[in-house]
Amino acid sequence: MRSPLTKTPKFRQIVAVLLLSLAGCGSESDRVLEETFERLDTIQPNTDISIQNGDGAVLVYGSNTNEMQVHATKKAYSRTRLKEIAIDVSVQPARVAIKVRLPPKPTWALSDRSGTVDCTIVVPATTNISQLRLDAGEVFVDGMRGRSLRAWLGDGRMFAHNCFADVDLALQRGNLTISYDWWEHGTFSVQANVARGNAWAFLPSDAAFRLIAETLHGKLASDFDDTAAQTAPAGAKKIDTLVHGGGKAAIKVRTANGEIKIVEANP
């Protein structure tokens, strides 16, 4: 005997929507579709650059050129979603804005919710990254020497490599790595804040800097001499010391929930 529920128009509408959603999971959605985007522009060495992406990766490399190269790979499970992904690049004399526009997520759980973009961007090393924002995925920044570099990541992994600038990194959830293959005794700073996750800093043995590292809930350790962590009454751990006299550089790392490790790594 059929349930009276199956006779109601509302029930039949719900079943019809579910069947249409399942029908969309055909052969095309069994594979990832890709489309590439490329652009090359000549920019000034002190240009201010902002980058925004929702889901995927943002990789920025500093170079000894006066050009900006943008290479992006769009990925989705359907051609409709792929076409809806847009990459806007605005180039002005002193400012560049790169923005990835992803289609909104459908309301129905079984609908196609795909859409990611992996961006590789090569810029003059002396440009300023005023904003690099990624909701989820991976951020990698290498070889920047501009006035400043600011990056924010919601969920994923963040890497800063050989960046001799005033660096400000923020990560909501995930792991963060700061590393230098060599050391330059100039004036620069690195400030990293992780809300939930771990942070590592790999620094050459001859590096001279002021180290401030603090974790509210987690472990804290450093390979450099005279950096024993002090424990506060609430359980927080903190290091505040001058490494090799301090020099002109400052490294500040803070986690709310996670461990911090400062590693002495020979170049």
Q: Where are the domains of the chain?
A: 31-264
43 close to 96: Cβ distance less than 8 angstroms: yes
Q: Quick one: pLDDT at residue 114? A: 80
Question: Is residue 30 classed as helix, strand or coil in its secondary structure?
Answer: helix
pLDDT in tens, the chain (267 residues): 444 444 455 545 544 444 444 444 444 446 899 999 999 999 999 999 999 999 999 999 999 999 999 999 999 999 999 999 999 999 999 999 999 998 887 766 656 768 899 999 999 999 999 999 999 999 999 999 999 999 999 999 999 999 999 999 999 999 999 999 999 989 999 999 999 999 999 999 999 999 999 999 999 999 986 655 666 556 679 999 999 999 999 999 999 999 999 999 875
CA triple 176-151-32, angle to 5 deg: 80
The one-character DSSP state at 201 is E
Question: Is residue 209 classed as helix, strand or coil in its secondary structure?
Answer: strand
Q: Quick one: pLDDT at residue 194? A: 98
Phi-psi sector, 248: left (phi>0), alpha (psi -120 to 50), beta: alpha
Q: Which residues contact 191 (CB under 8 A, 6 or more apart)?
A: 167, 168, 169, 252
Rounded to two decimals, what is the model's pTM? 0.84
Residue type, 178: I
Residue among 88, 77, 72 at smallest CA distance from 29: 77
Query: What Å distances lie between residue 255 and 141, 154, 172, CA to CA?
Result: 20, 14, 10
Q: Quick one: pLDDT at residue 15? A: 40
